[in-house]
Amino acid sequence: MKPLTTVLLCLALAVPAAAQTATEPALPNQWAGAGVFFNQYASPQINGTAAYAKKILGSGTYNFNAVNFLSYETQPFRVMTTVETGIAQRVTRFGAFEVFALGTLGPATAGDEDGTKLGVAFTGGGFAFAGLGKGWTIGPVLRVTKPTISDTQWAIGLMVGWGE
């Protein structure tokens, strides 16, 4: 069997298996986490995020707030900070993972030889979290950030958090 056919067959069989969970655990009312990300635009290629989410609707809609530390320039390396707020919406459950879509907007600032730059940043993406027990979660995150003061940046990483 060709490798692509094998992968597609495994994915097709995994979807019904993931859909057969007996009961879904309750989502937390609030959650806080931090993560580290690989970013192709950065040098070094590491960025960080701290986030807080508060449930605003019972269906899995959260007010999502994040402080991101991204690259403003790669040479010389300069940091851009964004402080964003928006919505995280639960999309589905896949096995042990709760899957969310994310959209945030907020100010972005960076310092360079001309002084401090100020702009706006939009971030879109998604994340999936699995429970580790006692409120702790871990999961992958994929995001794309478009600041007005820098180039579009995509990042993939891992976040760890706690919710109640």
Residue 23 covered by a domain:
no
* 160 or 1, which is more confident: 160
Is 17 part of any domain? no
Q: Is residue 21 part of a domain?
A: no
Domain membership of residue 127 as a residue range: 29-163
pLDDT at 6: 43
Residues found in the chain: 164
Decide if 35 is inside a domain. Answer: yes
User: Confidence band (pLDDT; 50, 70, 90) for 17?
Assistant: very low
Looking at the domain assignment, is residue 108 inside a domain?
yes
Question: Which domain CATH number covers 106?
Answer: 2.40.160.20
Residue 6 in any domain: the answer is: no
Confidence at 3, pLDDT banded by 50, 70, 90: very low
pLDDT at 109 over 60: yes
**How high is the pLDDT of residue 20?**
44
Q: Give the number of domains in the chain.
A: 1
| Total Cβ atoms within 10 A of residue 141 | 22
Residue 12 main-chain phi, psi, to 5 deg: -65, -35
Amino acid, res. 141:
V
pLDDT tens sequence across 77-88: 788 899 999 999
Q: Which of 31-40, 64-73, 102-111, 138-147 has the lowest mean pLDDT?
A: 64-73
Residue 12 lies in a domain: no
pLDDT digits (tens, 9 = 90+) for 58-80: 779 999 999 999 877 767 778 88
Residue 42 lies in a domain: yes
Q: What burial letters (b/e) apply to 38-52, b meaning 16+ CB within 10 Å?
A: ebebbeeeebbbebb
